[in-house]
A and B are shown apart, each in its own frame.
Chain A
């Protein structure tokens, strides 16, 4: 393993801002993995840290295929994480919406530019990501539909779901989108919630990356990861979305990962002052709860659950 500083920048008053990378093997740029771009992506950071540890072990027992190089960047935004903010502390901008970046531009454009230069040219790119719709997600691989997305290989992670999203204009500045345009096969891995650490989900996502490496031939066969799932592939718009009919205190009985039948009780929305049940949320269809809100207050028409019926 080689540790290096991918990018550093002085700050007006804090310690220097640094992005650290961990490189394994030597040769073709084969796989790049990037963790938290936002300050609340603790799960994503942890998953990458575990991957660094695992890769070190694999390397030690000569388990990496000759001639491949793997880069892991656990965090591109320690500054925000250290002060408990999701976005760039100075101006609230989102590094993950600054790609492909601009070397002469604003601070977060420069960070995105430096990061993107380090991540470019790899055959495969994996991002541990989080959604702008906050909540708890089933572990899945997400691909933006750009015309370059490779759904076949996305299945090699062996995560239970592969979700394809039709990009909106504001998605065109995401890392995943630009990685694809610059000819890296890019996959965003989701699972769990922000600002929390679910060890089981983290292990599942980390194993998925190890499984993927084995299946595309980056490791010699002695790693023997479990088979994983044969994934269900769907378009994001096919999820059955259940929205809050009224606002109030959200009390969920079921959460992401649960199998439900049509008509099952999912949640109550309770009057904030009187304690009465204002809405009874039931499943409109059977399937797996792919997403559940992790908020305790529900806003009228906010998504509470998404069911995958496939």
Chain B
């Protein structure tokens, strides 16, 4: 494990977004999160600074000793660019500058809450970001595995894959959990399963979620039916950046809410074997119908978006996201031929504030960001460099 890591650039990390997986015309990514706590320690919000510090140290050392670096590592033959050997990078978030933490949030490697830290009774409010003991371990080079320490639960193990690959993501999370379990004693009861701070996660502690791109269903209005059906099946529907976020650019995260009384395999089978393939088919049908019945209008929307993205001089993150969503639809439907899916996916991340500043190599205020964003998109889409 490297001690104080520097977050790699987008081009080497975020494997799930760069690489295109199964059903990637609709499914952006598959994620599995496991909530775990150490036996004998209070849950985070009830622990004082000293205890949180100790939990952090124990977890950090055990993560380093658990031999996690191979988990989720690519097995595909010879990558295009030679990659660094797999290793686990540890980031102590107290020492990360705000922009680095924002970068991790944008990459879905940590939650917003984890970036900010937890206000504890024995801390002054203003100090939280730099004093609350918390960190994250990230598997390099592909960032398929990450482990938040001292978030709501002591450990949050996350595995991610591009496209519809929930079984693979589960296998990674399961393996990481086994390896950590050999080093740590997890809070568990035969009746309630893995014990979590919030009883809504108790049992398996698992949340399996899929990020879907559903512009077709949004246009036909059938998205409301999908949301209702998901609700009836006890699935949560969230936006691109999770809890409370709007469905920016027609991206929706669908995930299980039931964690007690239903095994991991059953949750996996229901989602990846039944529900998601149906939504994927439903979305494809909506797209086909739009193309045959409102083809000109659809094409118009795609090309207007492309026109705006390649000519605007000021762009907000929200507008970019919405326009990129339209272009993405055009690309996967074959309406646009000179833009590829990986480039569109990349721009969705690179146009977020922290990534934008990283790419531009300088700090930018909001106004400057709008300008830089438009510039970056133009350059990338027109391939003028």
B and A form one assembly: no
